[in-house]
Amino acid sequence: MSQPLAERLRPQSLDDYVGQQHLVGPDAVLRKMIESGRISSFILWGPPGVGKTTLAQIIAHQLDIPFYTLSAVTSGVKDVREVIESAQKNRFFSNASPILFIDEIHRFSKSQQDSLLGAVERGIVTLIGATTENPSFEVIRPLLSRCQLYVLKPLDKADLLQLLDRAIHQDVQLKELNIELKETDALLRYSGGDARKLLNILELVVEASSAEKIVITDELVAQRLQQNPLAYDKGGEMHYDIISAFIKSIRGSDPDAALYWMARMIEGGEQPEFIARRVLISASEDIGLANPNALLLANAAFDAVMKLGWPEGRIPLAEAVVYLATSPKSNSAYLALDDALSEVRQSGNQPVPLHLRNAPTDLMKQLGYSDGYKYAHDYEGNFVEQQFLPDVLTQRRFWHAQHTPAEEKLYQQMIKCWGERYKD
């Protein structure tokens, strides 16, 4: 059975590798590393079809190093340990550590990632991980700290056109056919910067054509994909930059752009709960105290989507997205919490002031627990000034109002209560 076109055209050397010149171009970091023959562990982060797996294979091939590969989708801790054991045996026959390539490393559980740590630390294996998700969230910190991180970009138009030209003129099968690339906009648009998808679409269009001369036009590509919508991975188009554009459009108060990116996700087959969760996050992170009703509406939309499903669920989602995009914005609570977390990590576990402590026993009362605490509701305006922060942090501020109309009221209340402490 013939290999797919994308596999037949997989580059075997850096000179044949298309794209990612910031990593593999002249004097770029990965090229220098390969040329030196000394590879350290690293993680490749980028959208699908930009050459992560190919790059790992080229490195192993050019350096003639034993190469092991695991898929995080199908492998467990037992598989990881077996590969490490095998690599350890191979280590005796080579000066360089064998390469262990883990595709979709973000799908590895914490225990699976933990099982890699020792082998990476001792140099039993050189780890190359590939991920489409942000490693900061998906890879455990100890493992991430032992790896360099290299970001791969979607292939640009010039890269994709170069691939098309190579496929038509160099592939063992396609070069025997009479193929004319009359138009390429549809090919490029449907590929979304994904080389694998681009070549899959090209192969589909060519295989579906029986003419002696195959003239590829935008209309022909659209027809072929409409006839066989599963010929390319619609889910692959929904890589991280689509949801990023969606969130940033809401944050940037552009309801048209937000609806467009949501439509892209819907047409791409995204799960409704995934979109609804992102809407909830946006309501909390970006609208916040500027319009507290945004979170209520986003939560109501989430509940409606769960009850309705597709396609009706798109309606309350659209309402929520337009409402969020057109709402005033504030991330003051979000920033305040991050600042407080940073303080906790820096200053450690500061003791709770005695007057704020719970005193359920006589001994605790004798020790001064809760002594001197003033019950706010016993005072005019339900407020009385007293210390609530630890002794070393009494002057520390975390929340800073951003003075939207709704938040200004909260700010003025704090000025009324605390006076100079809250004046920015």
Six-digit token string for 193: 């910067």
pLDDT at 91: 61
The 42-45 sheet, strands edge to edge: 67-71, 99-103, 126-131, 42-45, 148-151
For residue 411, the SS3 value is helix
pLDDT at 95: 62
Number of other residues whose CB lies within 10 A of the CB of residue 86: 15
Output DSSP code: residue 311. Answer: T
Q: Is 296 exposed, middle or buried (0-12, 13-18, 19+ CB in 10 A)?
A: exposed
pLDDT at 275: 87
Question: What residues of the chain score a pLDDT lower than 50?
Answer: 1, 227-238
Q: Which of 93, 90, 81 is nearest to 118 (CA)?
A: 81
pLDDT at 298: 92
| Residue whose structure tokens are 């140099």 | 123
pLDDT tens-digit readout, 332-357: 888 888 888 888 888 878 888 887 77
pLDDT at 76: 72
pLDDT tens-digit readout, 297-319: 999 998 888 888 778 888 889 99
d(CA 420, CA 414): 10
- 77 to each of 87, 109, 111, 116, 237, how far by Cα in Å? 15, 9, 7, 9, 30
Six-digit token string for 191: 């590929």
